[in-house]
Amino acid sequence: MSAVEVTELRKAYDGVEAVRGIDFQIGAGEVFGLLGPNGAGKTTTVEILVGYRRRDGGSVRVLDTDPERAGGAWRARIGVVPQTGELFPNLTVLEHLELFAGYYDEPRPPREVLALVGLEEKGRSKTRTLSGGQRRRLDLGVALVGNPELIFLDEPTTGFDPGARRAAWETIRSLRSLGKTILLTTHYIEEAHRLADRVAVLRRGEIVASGTPAELIAQAPASVIRYRRAGEEVVIQTEEPTRVLHDLTARALSDGFELEALEVHRPTLEDVYLDLTEEQPE
């Protein structure tokens, strides 16, 4: 059974279409990455799925319920880490977790959540004294304390330094191993690649590609051969790197020139992503 089913979802703000008829499904226990540049419609999509916003068209089922008609019992099954937003500066970390735990019938013990998000040392600190990364971990803790089965993470690591990002990835992986279903939005390709079972690339409100990271890479146009000649960079895209390279090196040998800085490059998810999300001239 799918945890999330989205069909032909549409949403416009003041006549400007932010989401233009997208479809995707997320299976139970899956980590799904919604990848795209800023303004592609990621947050709008998440906000519709969690019930903050009403859609203009299409159908949405989240845990077998339409979020627009969902009640408290449904909200107890989801957890949301919003992209922005603060908590109470005068409450401690543990007090936040206790406050939110009180909203659920079967919460996860706050101290356990403290450990899960790596804030054991900070339980008694007021939120206003936390660093940005620690606050973000508390955001995650607040979303997890209800022990939800489906978790929405809207750009959970934006603004993190590389160390903090890796730590956050570990936490998300541990959630996955607990059997949680996760929808993750990000504009970091590496993040989607490392964490997501499947990825949909969103561009200007449309899904321009979707599949496992490996499938997306396989869709890539071609291998890339680069070298420099007389100071000019030459880039060749080809489906037959072996033959092209053979011809190229043969010509270089017979004509007696050097292929400076020669490299053959398999496309990465980043290349695919940049290719897909690049603003094409209209």
Partner 1 sequence: MRLLLHQFRAEQKLFWRSRELAFFTFLLPIVFYLMLGSAYGDEDIQGVGGYEFLLAGMIGYGAAATAFAGLALLLVIRRESGVLKRLRVTPLPAATYIAAVLGSIVVIFLLEAVILIVLARLAFDVTVPDSPASLAFVLLLGAGAFSALGIGLTALIRSAEGSSAVVNAIYLPVAFISGAFFSPDAFPELLQLIGEILPLSHLIRLCRDVIAYGEPVLEHLDDVAVVAAWGVLGLAVALRRFRWEPRER
Partner residues linked to 152 by β-bridges: 80, 183
The beta strands (E) that lie in 14-73 are given as: 16-27, 31-35, 57-62
- Tell the smallest beta-carbon distance from residue 101 to partner 1 (Å): 9
Instruction: Output 75 or 173, the one with its CB closest to partner 1.
Output: 75
Distance CA 25, CA 198 (A): 10
3-state secondary structure of 84: coil
Mark the segment that binds partner 1 (CB under 8 A) among 73-81, 164-172, 180-188, 224-232: 73-81
Check if the beta carbon of residue 38 is closer than 8 Å to that of residue 187.
yes
Binding of partner 1 by 78 (CB under 8 A): yes
Mark the segment that binds partner 1 (CB under 8 A) among 19-27, 35-43, 99-107, 200-208: 99-107
- Tell the smallest beta-carbon distance from residue 118 to partner 1 (Å): 21
Instruction: Output 53 or 193, the one with its CB closest to partner 1.
Output: 53
The beta strands (E) that lie in 39-175 are given as: 57-62, 78-81, 150-154
Among 12, 28, 91, 236, binds partner 1 (CB under 8 A): 91
- Tell the smallest beta-carbon distance from residue 79 to partner 1 (Å): 8
- Tell the smallest beta-carbon distance from residue 12 to partner 1 (Å): 13
Query: Binding to partner 1 (CB under 8 A): which residues in 25-54?
Result: 50-52
Residue 131 burial (CB < 10 Å; 0-12/13-18/19+)? exposed
Instruction: Output 129 or 219, the one with its CB closest to partner 1.
Output: 129
Instruction: Output 44 or 223, the one with its CB closest to partner 1.
Output: 44
- Tell the smallest beta-carbon distance from residue 209 to partner 1 (Å): 29
Among 26, 34, 94, 142, binds partner 1 (CB under 8 A): 142
Q: Where are the alpha helices (DSSP H) in 64-106?
A: 72-75, 93-101
Distance CA 115, CA 230 (A): 58
- Tell the smallest beta-carbon distance from residue 94 to partner 1 (Å): 13
* Complete DSSP assignment for 171-225: HHHHHHHTT-EEEEEES-HHHHHHH-SEEEEEETTEEEEEE-HHHHHHTS--EEE
- Sheet order of strands, 16-27 included: 16-27, 2-13, 57-62
Mark the segment that binds partner 1 (CB under 8 A) among 33-41, 95-103, 177-185, 219-227: 95-103
Q: Which two three-digit tokens encode residue 34?
A: 């919604």
Binding of partner 1 by 15 (CB under 8 A): no
Which residues form the interface with partner 1 (CB under 8 A)?
13, 50-52, 72-73, 75-76, 78, 80, 82, 84-88, 90-91, 95, 99-100, 102-105, 142, 146
